[in-house]
Structure 1
């Protein structure tokens, strides 16, 4: 009898573990989240009623997936939603165009739906392109960096919707760099498509939160206000790790590249390669002008980079593919490359200032200011930004 009682007691103690052992879990900061993260797209019961009997436009790309990997466009058509037009950001609807490559209008081969490019000459939907649309959906995976152009596309879509009195629904997705707020604040004179708003390089917001901030801070032309609905993620907290369902762009192939992206993207404004034309994009860096020792690679044309910088030339630098996950914007690789280059006069290009959003960062590096002192110069701007963004946050 005692043996039976012991077995019953053991089963009772194990029962909670057995029950939850098959449930996806994420362990962060000593907290266990039992429930699986649901993106806004997966919370379809909240947005399908808003689309009933409406003609719909959708801004999306290859990242617009539900958790079962079905694309949102296919899902909505299955649900008899009347999609009229697909609007495609940089890299196109299927996400195969190179960075900066002109994306043209066309037709989706699978669905036959017309595709209008929002990258190139037509960054903002025109009134005639929205004429037969009652509501617009925005569903794109962002990575939380100011110069990643999807938030610039969001700005222009919100502005067009506001000017044409069309409601916009953002299906929110976690920011894979969602707990990091860091970098210099963009100064208004350096506004461009790779930086439109006075925010740091890493803003620590989801794209839904960011849309609310665009509205709330009156960043749209003439202070117009977009009629915005955000379908939030469920079971998501900002400090949780999150792996995206599809490459957000051709040269961000994995979690490591997404985490390193903001720190290494500064090299786009220098004479240093960040791995375009290899299989380790945004995980390595190097150039023919750095010391010819240690790690090296030779860029060649490939998917996402038809003509990579230093095509066919040996580049020397560092392999960061095994680097520990970053929790801040890192400058050490940029500073090291500038310090060690054999051609400092050609190290920085004019594009660097657009990426940095300020002239100060280049000036500081050229003067030999330490990384700690550079970071200290960001402190007051970051503190003010955190206060400004606080009312727009949806997640802890």
Structure 2
């Protein structure tokens, strides 16, 4: 009996220690800003709220619009970015004003003729909430939309609330830093092609660096992601746009997007966009595919109906910004006597690159090492410049 009691006491002690250990162990679950209601609902109470959202704006298995309405937040309108409120419009496709059939809310387009919300759009608004999943590349236009929304909020004395989400390419700071003369909607800020920041961090930088009119006047709040590191792998639960359907496409996007102003297809009009590359006259590999019209993602794809030969990158290990595919494709065109046909839109190439130096270096036959060396000083300066605005541990 005495031995049994001794064992029982020991077991109870071990259980108590285990319980105490579990209670004191930190919660390591990643939680996006939208799912931290206690940190932002009080700010929205009794306010007229406009939302800048799309299909990625989810909170607790609901669209953020539905979630906030269920919390009795007075959402009065939705401002729709590129690809639309539901994310079903193709790249560059004009977004029209509409009424959301589910909630009856007006949907006002801020992609197309109007990219910056007008005073009329925001006349009755107290707070604008921005909650959109980004992919970390300068030319992905959601951060340009955020820029214009922040500027409109600053000019009109409206609060701005950014609900942060991870950057799936957050481990990388790479590529040329945008030069001011190449500023456009696919590159508005003097940041690298891969900036390694979340939208919340970028919002703080846009305000802090005075990149918008009336920046000091902007009342900006960012709700950070809990337990997040920028080098953390993160698979997006919802595709951020029609042509980035999976983690591999998002990983390849920074490297393959620069093929857009070239003669080469990167798979728009296939089931694997941004995961292949090919051409019908210059063989870039032995993988064959044929683009077709796909109304919701690629209504008129490049080289539609042609039989293309190229590379299948669906299982590749390309990460960050890899110049090799672009350089190899240009050399293949040059070897075929078609170098002059490679860049079909030099101006757009320079806007995506943020400089004309990259295109000119490729034409001049500079090596990858030479090209990369050309932007290292700018990257080092940027990393210092962004430090005051970082919300998460840096992986430098």
TM-score scaled by length of structure 2: 0.91
User: Structure 1 residue 240: deviation in Å?
Assistant: 0.9
Alignment match, 1:163: 155
1:58 to 35, 41, 51: 51
Alignment match, 2:264: 272
User: Structure 1 residue 289: deviation in Å?
Assistant: 3.0
**Residue range with higher mean Cα deviation, 231-240 or 186-195:** 231-240
Deviation track 1:87-137 (CA, whole Å, cap 9, x = no partner) reads 010000000111001111111111110001110010000001101111110
Q: Secondary structure at the residue paired with 2:369?
A: helix
User: Structure 1 residue 225: deviation in Å?
Assistant: 3.9
1:395 to 364, 374, 392: 392
Q: Please give the alpha-carbon distance, in whole angstroms, between the structure 2 residues aligned to 1:16 and 1:294.
A: 58
Deviation track 1:336-394 (CA, whole Å, cap 9, x = no partner) reads 11000232112112211110011100111111100011111110000000000010000
Alignment match, 2:372: 375
Runs of 4 or more off by more than 6 Å in structure 1?
none
Is the counterpart of residue 42 in structure 1 residue 35 in structure 2? yes
* Unmatched 5+ stretches in structure 2: none
Matches within 5 A, 1:283-362: 283-291=275-283, 294-302=286-294, 303-324=296-317, 326=319, 328-341=320-333, 342=336, 343-348=338-343, 349-350=345-346, 351-362=348-359
The verdict on how the C-alpha distance between 1:16 and 1:89 changes in structure 2, with shifts beyond 3 A counting, is: farther
Alignment match, 2:119: 127
RMSD between aligned residues? 2.2
* Unmatched 5+ stretches in structure 1: 21-31
The verdict on how the C-alpha distance between 1:345 and 1:243 changes in structure 2, with shifts beyond 3 A counting, is: same
Is the counterpart of residue 99 in structure 1 residue 91 in structure 2? yes
Alignment match, 2:218: 226
Q: Secondary structure at the residue paired with 1:290?
A: coil
Alpha carbons 1:159, 1:224 under 8 Å: kept: no
Alpha carbons 1:218, 1:225 under 8 Å: kept: no
TM-score scaled by length of structure 1: 0.91
1:145 to 121, 125, 137: 137
Q: How many residues align?
A: 378
The verdict on how the C-alpha distance between 1:215 and 1:385 changes in structure 2, with shifts beyond 3 A counting, is: same
Alpha carbons 1:284, 1:319 under 8 Å: kept: yes
Alignment match, 1:25: none
User: Structure 1 residue 69: deviation in Å?
Assistant: 2.2
